[in-house]
């Protein structure tokens, strides 16, 4: 009988790819030299440190010490997500740490994607070294320069395909125009996340339109001076049409009817597969919800939509009197055969509408919904009808907190590797694990991730023996969420 040692050693990396947890790679790498050589690239291929990780700040310093002193390790890093970092005053320690980080980044010669979101910790030398790396295609950074770095350094990134700017200052906003000019035809995705900021305007967006001909994805959040007049030229200017659009918390003067009329000319949304919208404060824009919903449906009518995301500007109960079910049914009427992802936040739909989504969207793989606590285990939700469902997250209306836009949610996935406040966790209603398991076992056999409010589980399928006759059966159970990807629930939080 063949045993593991009989397998060709060349298969080992392919086998190890099925492990996702970094701690498992670290353990497996200690088996022998061959395992170590195979695990090292996988262990460092993607490195992520989040603010909710236990001892995040000491960890990140140890990471950069390793990267700066071990080029043979740093060369394996392809994606680096730094979302926490200690702040220092102008001391020798700060100079030493800054130099160490810069050296570590310079050694990441195969880096493709870089994220650094901690305010006041990014430096010019970090950006300088990143700009010299040959493979960097994605950059996410905190745009509050405030003397921490020289925004002009950004113009040295000329081949980026994806840019995400968080909380841009006026200096960084002004730098976007010359930066986009040197990046012309390279950029595929542009995301700007503000906190009710006025620095991103229609005029500014109009200035960068000529450089965005290759753009495929545009997401704007919290840019309160951006209207349809700033967005429409970008949509029309995309050579092959935008595939993904996010318009969240923009100006009260944003006219959905005008945008709908504008994109209808030339079929500008012919390639759109994903859209994210915030339901505006209707009293401020002077139209009814029915009118706004009709405009949205008309705008999307000819798009091959696969993902639909909508956020309420305030808490769930604010929208309880609106007929949101009509909007959801219309989206399903027009796009059911293609829809793979349906996401609603701070907007509670009736159980009949959720059942309609699950029953008619036969390719649905990801579902984010708001359901009352008393109804979550009811079969009236129809969750079991979505037979291809892989990700399910349920929020309770009582947990619709008015968090500030553009801030990271530090109520992170509850995990063993967290510095969490137990009292804070208890203040947020979470479905008991036993009830969650009942619901999971009703749902699609493909379900891999389940969450409720601030809790996320990985769904595992176990193969068990029944009695002495050794009959095999499968059973699903909930396990600790260990994916390096942040669940949507803990990304940027949207409000008006």
In this prediction, what percent of the chain has a pLDDT beyond 90?
62
pLDDT band, very low/low/confident/very high, at 89 (cuts 50, 70, 90): low
345: in domain:
no
CA distance 327 to 329: 6
User: Which of 166, 187, 208 is at the close of a domain?
Assistant: 187
Does one domain contain both 25 and 58? no
In a domain, 364, yes or no: no
Q: Is 86 exposed, middle or buried (0-12, 13-18, 19+ CB in 10 A)?
A: middle
Q: How far apart are CA 364 and CA 359, in angstroms?
A: 9
What pLDDT is attached to residue 118? 94
Looking at the structure, tell me whether residues 40 and 59 fall in a common domain: no
Domain with residue 133: its CATH number is 3.80.10
pLDDT over 80 at 312, yes or no:
yes
Residues 106 and 58 in one domain: yes
Q: Whole-angstrom Cα distance, residue 145 to residue 124?
A: 9
Lowest-confidence range among 225-229, 249-253, 287-291?
Answer: 287-291
Q: Which helix (H) or strand (E) holds 294?
A: helix 289-300
pLDDT for the residue numbered 283: 61
Query: Is residue 111 situated within a structural domain?
Result: yes
Q: Could you tell me the pLDDT band of residue 150, with boundaries at 50, 70 and 90?
A: very high
What is the number of alpha carbons within 13 Å of residue 272 lying toward its C-beta?
24
User: What is the enclosing helix (H) or strand (E) of 166?
Assistant: strand 162-166
Residue 346 falls within a domain, yes or no? Answer: no
Query: No. of H helices and E strands in the chain?
Result: 17, 16
pLDDT at 403: 36
Host domain of residue 78: 50-187
Residue 423 has pLDDT above 60, yes or no: no
For residues 249 and 232, what is the distance between their CA atoms, to the nearest angstrom?
Answer: 16
Q: Which of 168, 187, 206 lies at the terminal end of a domain, its last residue? A: 187
* DSSP-derived 3-state class of residue 440: helix
In the predicted model, is pLDDT for residue 232 greater than 80? Answer: yes
Q: Which residues contact 5 (CB under 8 A, 6 or more apart)?
A: none
- Judge if 7 and 27 occupy the same domain: yes
State the Rg of the chain over Cα: 24
Task: Using alpha carbons, list the distances in angstroms from residue 4 to 7, 8, 91, 196.
Answer: 6, 9, 54, 58
H or E stretch at 34: helix 33-45
Clarify whether residues 23 and 55 are in a common domain: no
Both 4 and 72 in a single domain?
Answer: no
Within-domain flag for 494:
no
Of 156, 187, 218, the residue that ends a domain is 187
Distance set, CA 449 to CA 84, 433, 457 (Å): 25, 13, 6
pLDDT of residue 398: 54
Whether residues 19 and 59 fall in one domain: no
378's CB contacts (< 8 A; 6+ apart) are 351
Instruction: Tell me what the mean pLDDT of segment 6-28 comes to.
Output: 75
d(CA 324, CA 35): 54
Decide if 313 is inside a domain. no
pLDDT at 402 over 60: no
In contact, 319 and 350? CB cutoff 8 Å: no
Whether residue 58 is predicted with pLDDT greater than 90 in this model: the reply is yes
Residue of 13, 48, 186 lying closest to 484 (CA atoms): 48
Same domain, 109 and 16: no
33 and 75 share one domain: no
pLDDT at position 416 is 43
Output phi, psi for 367, to 5 deg.
Answer: -140, 125
Domains in the chain: how many in total?
2
Question: Does the residue 349 lie in any domain?
Answer: no
- Do residue 7 and residue 89 come from a single domain? no
Residue 207 has pLDDT above 90, yes or no: yes
Exposed (0-12), middle (13-18) or buried (19+): which is 110, by Cβ within 10 Å?
A: middle
The answer to whether residues 20 and 142 belong to one domain is no
Residue 207 domain-assigned (yes or no) = no
pLDDT in tens, 4-14: 666 777 777 77
Over 80: is that where the pLDDT of 319 sits? no
pLDDT at 426 over 60: no
User: For the ranges 48-62, 150-164, 297-311, 389-403, which has the lowest average pLDDT?
Assistant: 389-403
* Same domain, residue pair 33 and 54: no
Q: Which residue has the higher pLDDT, 71 or 14?
A: 71
CB 227 within 8 A of CB 255: yes
């Amino acid at each position: 009988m063949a045993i593991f040692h009989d397998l060709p050693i060349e298969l080992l990396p392919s086998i190890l790819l099925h492990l996702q947890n970094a701690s498992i790679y670290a353990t497996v790498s200690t088996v022998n030299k061959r395992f170590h050589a195979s695990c090292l690239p996988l262990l460092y291929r993607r490195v992520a440190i989040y603010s909710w990780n236990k001892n995040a700040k000491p960890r990140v310093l140890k990471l950069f010490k390793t990267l700066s002193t071990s080029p043979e390790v740093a060369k394996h890093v392809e994606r680096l997500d730094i979302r926490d970092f200690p702040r220092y005053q102008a001391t020798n320690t700060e100079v030493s740490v800054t130099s160490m980080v810069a050296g570590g980044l310079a050694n990441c010669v195969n880096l493709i994607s870089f994220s650094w979101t901690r305010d006041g910790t990014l430096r010019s030398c970090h950006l300088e070294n990143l700009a010299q790396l040959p493979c960097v295609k994605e950059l996410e950074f905190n745009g509050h320069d405030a003397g921490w770095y020289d925004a002009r350094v950004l113009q040295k990134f000329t081949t980026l395909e994806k840019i995400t700017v968080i909380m841009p200052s006026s200096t960084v906003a002004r730098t976007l125009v010359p930066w986009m000019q040197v990046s012309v035809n390279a950029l595929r995705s542009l995301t700007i996340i503000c906190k009710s900021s006025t620095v991103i305007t229609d005029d500014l967006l109009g200035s960068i339109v000529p450089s965005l001909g290759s753009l495929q994805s545009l997401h704007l959040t919290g840019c309160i001076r951006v209207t349809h007049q700033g967005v429409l030229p970008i949509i029309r200017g995309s050579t092959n049409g935008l595939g993904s659009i996010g318009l969240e918390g923009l100006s009260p003067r944003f006219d959905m009817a005008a945008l709908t009329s504008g994109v209808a000319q030339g079929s500008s949304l012919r390639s759109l597969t994903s859209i994210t919208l915030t339901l505006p404060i209707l009293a401020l824009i002077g139209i009814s919800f029915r009118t706004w919903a009709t405009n949205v449906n008309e705008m999307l009518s000819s798009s091959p939509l696969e993902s639909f995301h909508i956020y309420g500007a305030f808490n769930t109960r604010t929208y309880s009197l609106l007929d949101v079910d009509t909007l959801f049914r219309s989206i399903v009427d027009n796009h059911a055969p293609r829809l793979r992802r349906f996401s609603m936040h701070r907007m509670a739909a009736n159980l009949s509408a959720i059942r309609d989504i699950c029953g008619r969207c036969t390719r649905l793989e990801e579902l984010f919904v708001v359901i009352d606590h008393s109804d979550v285990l009811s079969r009236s939700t129809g969750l079991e009808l979505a037979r291809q469902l892989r990700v399910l997250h349920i929020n309770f209306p009582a947990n619709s907190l008015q968090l500030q836009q553009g801030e990271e949610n530090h109520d992170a996935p509850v995990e063993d590797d967290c510095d969490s406040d137990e009292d804070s966790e208890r203040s947020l209603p979470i479905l008991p694990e036993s009830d969650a398991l009942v619901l999971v076992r009703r749902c699609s056999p493909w379900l891999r991730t389940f969450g409720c409010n601030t809790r996320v589980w990985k769904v595992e399928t176990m193969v068990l023996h029944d009695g002495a006759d050794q009959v095999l059966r499968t059973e699903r159970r909930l396990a600790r969420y260990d994916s390096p990807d942040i669940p949507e629930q803990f990304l940027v939080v949207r409000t008006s």
